[in-house]
Structure 1
Amino acid sequence: MIPLDLDHLRQWIGREETRAERLTAAIAARFNATFDRPEAPSEGELAPSLIHLCLAPDTAPTSTLGPDGHPARGGFLPPVPLPRRIWAGGHFRFHENIRIGDTVTRRSVVRDVTVKQGRSGPLCLVTIEHRIDSGGALAVTERQDIIYRGAGPAAAPSGAPSSATAEAAPQGRYRQAVEAGPALLFRYSALTFNGHRIHYDAPYARAEEGYPGLVVHGPLQATLLLQFAEALRGKRPAQIGFRGLSPLFDTAGFTLHAQDEANTLRLWTAAEGGPVAMEARAEW
């Protein structure tokens, strides 16, 4: 068992990082192509929601990446000694629009580091807060939850039902099928400059991390759910929160589900016959 020195890891609380990148029409065109959106973006137009997740990524040299394809820890993120990293969820609040041609600046701070006991051993939860400015104005505030766990068979985040015991997801009033093939996952990894091998290296995902196939990115699912919510209500919500419950794989397609609840829309993803993978709640 890998020891976790929580006092040492909590020294990263308050650590800050700032990155910026200009959102060009070319980046927006690649985003739209990845998500099969027909729009041909132009300078000055409104940018697609959550495209900021594709901007100003960590540009660590390839030679410094770990065996899983992630940059080495201990810079901005705490040096958690657990080998597996999961995007466990988060929350987005939208303030102003991002426009194509704007310089988008992300100011990030580590807000909390906690440790808990999961089914397969200790888990470390790191909470990060992002402030996204576009053209000098606050556009998005974001909370990002990252879970680190030990090696071994894939497991759901702590507190979530395991895929082996969970009930099949319910059917939403609104549904949209998604084909989660390797091309989609590879393109999204390229858009976000994400080297995590579970999303594009099937032999590694199976042999090293115990997954049955490539893993569908959490932020990719979040983007699809937000696009679904926008299409159903005709406009972007004021805020939306996400929580990952179980992984999705490229071994089968999955479905976006939505259900009306007063002034909110409850959304979730699930493979055919499988449990809820990611749940979300959008508010207008």
Structure 2
Amino acid sequence: MARTIHFNRSSSRSARHFSSASIFHSSTSDSPSAASVSSSFLSKFTSLGPQPRTQVLDGNQLQLLSLTLDRPTLYADSPHLSNAAPPPAGTPLPPGYHLVYFTPAFLEGELGADGTDRSYNPDSPFTRRMWAGGEVRWPRKDGGVLNPLRVGQEVRETTKVLSAEPKVVRKTGEEMVVVGVEKTFENEDGVAVVDRRNWVFRKALPTDGPKHNPPQPCVGVSPSQSPPEPSSPTSKVHSRSLKQTPVTLFRFSALTFNGHMIHYSLPWAREVEGHKSIVVHGPLNLISILDFWRDVRGRGGKLDEFSVVPESISYRATSPLYADEEYRIFLDEDGKEGKVQIYSPTGDVAMKAEIKAF
């Protein structure tokens, strides 16, 4: 039986986009249900088993990501990266930077109509993928010793499907499939990163349907947006404003080899998907949160590159963010853990996260 999803206020904008898009999907009574597609998908990947890949971590990819994020150095005492040599072998990857490795490798003709790779897509019509959230862990060995991924290492990524569940949006009755995937990254010293992701698959959209939404202007940060109250007497609330340009989104798409057109094609994002502009990547927001965490933790140069790696982060995307709009990240941290909220210019919570320090 399909589960019902309840959208709160912070996700209402996202729900409006999804519901308006579903109007133009031509579904019939004999279309496969989310429940049957979920069952078929899970059966297929259970029989396939875990999927391994091996890759040597390239310093050039790490350099380009840091520059894309407008960070000229990896760490406080690291060399400047602009127009310079890439980080040498042995350089540890900052938390979250593994996301630009083990990218999908498909011919363009093998991609979906929206440009996404179809490696873990359920069957039609549930092929419209969105990154909904997940959890990343950085396991420590005995004695609390971190095992970081490093430039030059040969790393093994193992991907396995954990779940596939049918769900329903209560307000619209729209069906969807939620897929849970786990990626484990191992080097010569064992497991370094465990990355669990949840993908939402909605029904595919036609590319020749009517226009969904008229263009809407992007806006700046709401002046009424105030920091949340500290969660405890010992915690402090830190804030950071960010604005991702179309160039940043294009370069991040290129580095992750992500062809999803909502991130770089304004006509597709507006006219097909119903967004007002191109959409900021969920993984890019995740990296921005982790960068903010390590900047706060490492102020004054008191912590080395290993101390700023958390034990884990769990996160959930609730509302889209758009290029050229300034938004704010609030981090409530007490030294042992952090609670993060990203607010859109309209005051909606776009992403929530909880960070645990080791």
Residue 348 (structure 2) pairs with residue 275 (structure 1): yes
Equivalent residue in structure 1 for 2:182, among 123, 129, 137: 129
Query: Which secondary structure does the structure 2 equivalent of 1:147 belong to?
Result: strand
Equivalent residue in structure 2 for 1:64, among 107, 110, 113: 110
Equivalent residue in structure 2 for 1:225, among 261, 281, 289: 289
Task: Give the residue type in structure 2 aligned to 1:254.
Answer: Y
State how far apart, in whole Å, the 1-side matches of 2:111 and 2:195 are: 26
Deviation at 1:84, TM superposition (A): 2.1
Which residue does the alignment assign to 1:3? 32
Task: Give the residue type in structure 1 aligned to 2:197.
Answer: Q
Deviations 1:44-72 (A, max 9, x none): 11112222111121111012212100123
Deviation at 1:134, TM superposition (A): 2.7
Query: Which secondary structure does the structure 2 equivalent of 1:146 belong to?
Result: strand
The range that moved more, 201-210 or 7-16, is 7-16
The range that moved more, 206-215 or 46-55, is 46-55
Asked if 1 retains the 8 angstrom alpha-carbon contact of 2:155 and 2:185, the reply is yes
Structure-to-structure mapping, 1:176-255, within 5 angstroms: 176-234=240-298, 235-255=308-328
State how far apart, in whole Å, the 1-side matches of 2:355 and 2:120 are: 30
CA shift in 2, pair 1:171/1:68, >3 Å: same
Identity of aligned residues (%): 29
The range that moved more, 169-178 or 194-203, is 169-178
Asked if 2 retains the 8 angstrom alpha-carbon contact of 1:180 and 1:254, the reply is no
Deviation at 1:77, TM superposition (A): 4.2
Count of matched residue positions in the alignment of Structure 1 and Structure 2: 269
Query: Which secondary structure does the structure 2 equivalent of 1:221 belong to?
Result: helix
Residue 88 (structure 2) pairs with residue 42 (structure 1): yes
TM-score computed with the length of structure 2 as normaliser: 0.70
Asked if 2 retains the 8 angstrom alpha-carbon contact of 1:80 and 1:148, the reply is no
Asked if 2 retains the 8 angstrom alpha-carbon contact of 1:20 and 1:55, the reply is no
The range that moved more, 184-193 or 9-18, is 9-18
Equivalent residue in structure 2 for 1:264, among 320, 337, 342: 337
Equivalent residue in structure 1 for 2:123, among 76, 79, 88: 79
Which residue does the alignment assign to 1:24? 58
State how far apart, in whole Å, the 2-side matches of 1:214 and 1:141 are: 30
TM-score computed with the length of structure 1 as normaliser: 0.88
Deviation at 1:133, TM superposition (A): 1.1
Equivalent residue in structure 2 for 1:171, among 209, 220, 227: 227
CA shift in 2, pair 1:228/1:93, >3 Å: same
CA shift in 2, pair 1:151/1:253, >3 Å: farther
Asked if 2 retains the 8 angstrom alpha-carbon contact of 1:12 and 1:110, the reply is no
CA shift in 2, pair 1:116/1:76, >3 Å: closer
More strand by share: 1
State how far apart, in whole Å, the 2-side matches of 1:251 and 1:149 are: 27
Asked if 1 retains the 8 angstrom alpha-carbon contact of 2:160 and 2:182, the reply is yes
Asked if 1 retains the 8 angstrom alpha-carbon contact of 2:56 and 2:152, the reply is yes
Task: Give the residue type in structure 2 aligned to 1:79.
Answer: D
Deviation at 1:98, TM superposition (A): 0.8
Query: Which secondary structure does the structure 2 equivalent of 1:87 belong to?
Result: strand
Residue 194 (structure 2) pairs with residue 141 (structure 1): yes
The range that moved more, 264-273 or 189-198, is 264-273
Deviations 1:104-150 (A, max 9, x none): 22101001100011144001100001111134521011110000113
State how far apart, in whole Å, the 2-side matches of 1:246 and 1:273 are: 11
Query: Which secondary structure does the structure 1 equivalent of 2:126 belong to?
Result: coil
- Runs (4+) of structure 1 exceeding 3 A deviation are 75-78, 151-154
The range that moved more, 129-138 or 169-178, is 169-178
The range that moved more, 38-47 or 273-282, is 38-47
State how far apart, in whole Å, the 2-side matches of 1:275 and 1:76 are: 30
Query: Which secondary structure does the structure 2 equivalent of 1:205 belong to?
Result: helix
Query: Which secondary structure does the structure 2 equivalent of 1:198 belong to?
Result: helix
Deviation at 1:171, TM superposition (A): 2.0
Deviation at 1:257, TM superposition (A): 1.2
Q: Which has the higher contact order (CA 8 A, sep 6+)?
A: 2
Query: Which secondary structure does the structure 2 equivalent of 1:241 belong to?
Result: strand
Residue 155 (structure 2) pairs with residue 104 (structure 1): yes
